[in-house]
Structure 1
Amino acid sequence: MVDVLLKFTKILKNGTTFYRFESFENVDSRWELPCEYLSGPHFAAWNGVLLYSGGNSIHTLCPGNLISLSEYQELMKIIEIGKERLKKIKSKMST
């Protein structure tokens, strides 16, 4: 599986760290997978927007958006969990 490449620029604004989302590459869409696999932490690319969820609600991230340090850290956790889950799902689907 190709690694997800997210591009962020770190910005210091009024003494607070933010991350400006620039773009993404190689994000596999999850929407073609069966619905039961979309529960829990996941991410997807859809029409130029990164979609991600920690299991409760879906967040969208468009190029140019700013997110806080805590949101950035949560997104990185979701991406790592999602990459592992996607690898397992693809393995099950190919056997």
Structure 2
Amino acid sequence: FFYCVFGLNNKSLKTSLPKQIKIKESIYELCKLQKNSISMIENRIYVLIEIKKHETTEISKIAVAYIVSVNQNSVQIWCSMYIS
């Protein structure tokens, strides 16, 4: 009934896959960078580590933000900075 009234089908309810970022550095290199960086940069590198850990399973930026305990907009900005 709900689908008929509102004109929805199963395809319209599916969400798109998150845009994946290819992290060039290894997790080991990122951990070394994280240890030697200032506290402001530590969370940014932690985001990259989490994305690298979930490279095969495709984790969303919202999930990464939850794991790192930062705002999802910050994760988006940091990922854009990493790409450029």
Give the number of the structure whose residues are more often strand, by fraction.
1
Give the number of the structure whose residues are more often helix, by fraction.
2
What band does the TM-score fall into relative to the shorter chain?
Answer: 0.3 to 0.5
Larger Rg: 2
